[in-house]
A and B are shown apart, each in its own frame.
Chain A
Amino acid sequence: EAGVAQSPRYKIIEKRQSVAFWCNPISGHATLYWYQQILGQGPKLLIQFQNNGVVDDSQLPKDRFSAERLKGVDSTLKIQPAKLEDSAVYLCASSESDRGYEQYFGPGTRLTVT
């Protein structure tokens, strides 16, 4: 079974630029999560999708971050414009359903904003 795929693995941009990350969850998984992991901290949920609908985006900085999950499969997370404090690893995870206790994580995208 293929795992959660993410791209790119690394991205370096200057502040005020835009960036987008892509995630392909495990086939058949209805729930998709985006987490932000700042160096030295545990992951923090940014947004949760159930199929193509948003379940929880309470911690998403909506003035600069946006996310979508087209057709309930792939998802894209965008930052526009980026700030220095956005430097982090962005992790995507998926689970069979919102009640599924096991979340499967992708390898993450390390973003450096200079």
Chain B
Amino acid sequence: AQTVTQSQPEMSVQEAETVTLSCTYDTSESDYYLFWYKQPPSRQMILVIRQEAYKQQNATENRFSVNFQKAAKSFSLKISDSQLGDAAMYFCAYRRTINDYKLSFGAGTTVTVRA
């Protein structure tokens, strides 16, 4: 079974600053997907960014970017120019590309944005 580890229970960032969230995972597969989801207090889980393991280029979505280190099985999320609306719980998730399509989530990191 795949395991996803988020070692930072909480992170705090000043508005307009940058914060990086860590995620490591364990798998024997060579191809898979990695995701970062955002869950605000309303509980609606929203996809922030995804990365296909076969792509070497790091994914970017506006102010959100990832640092994907396949050999190290590391997948960090960088939030640039942090905004108050970025405050939420962030989950790292893993999914295989064949046979088993369920998402395996980490425990989450709570991000607080200081005005």
Among the listed stretches B55-63, B66-74, B77-85, B104-112, which one makes contact with chain A, having 4 or more residues with CB under 8 Å of it?
Answer: B104-112
Q: Are A45 and B47 closer than 8 Å at their CB atoms?
A: no
**B44 close to A103 (CB less than 8 A):** no
Q: Is A42 in contact with B105, judged by CB distance below 8 angstroms?
A: yes
Tell me if A41 and B107 are in contact (CB < 8 A). yes
How many chain A residues touch B (CB < 8 A): the figure is 23
- Closest CB of chain A to B107's CB: distance in Å? 5
**B47 pairs with A44, CB closer than 8 A:** no
CA distance A31 to B103 in the complex (A): 13
Instruction: With A101-B50, A102-B47 as known contacts, state yes or no: A43 contacts B33, CB within 8 Å.
Output: no
With the chains together, A56 CA to B100 CA distance in Å? 9
Chain B nearest CB, measured from A46 CB (Å) = 10
CA distance A105 to B47 in the complex (A): 9
* A74 is an interface residue with CB less than 8 A from chain B: no
Q: What mask results when residues 30 to 56 of chain B are scored 1 for a CB within 8 Å of chain A, else 0?
A: 000101000000111111001000000
Bound form: Cα–Cα A91–B91 in Å? 14
Give the number of chain B interface residues (Cβ < 8 Å): 21
Q: Point out the residue from B35, B43, B102 that lies within 8 Å of A56, measured CB to CB.
A: B102
The CA of A31 and the CA of B50, in the complex, are separated in Å by 19
From residue 90 to 107 of chain B, which have CB atoms closer than 8 A to chain A?
91, 93, 95, 100-103, 105-107
Given A41-B108, A42-B4, A42-B91, A103 and B103 contact (CB-CB distance below 8 Å): yes
Interface CB pairs A-B, < 8 A, 18: A33-B102, A40-B108, A41-B107, A41-B108, A42-B105, A42-B107, A43-B45, A43-B91, A43-B103, A43-B105, A45-B103, A48-B102, A56-B100, A99-B101, A102-B47, A103-B103, A107-B43, A108-B43
Residues of A within 8 A of B (CB): 31, 33, 40-45, 48, 56, 89, 91, 93, 98-99, 101-103, 105-108, 110
Which 4 pairs between the two chains have the least Cβ-Cβ distance?
A: A42-B105, A105-B45, A45-B102, A108-B43
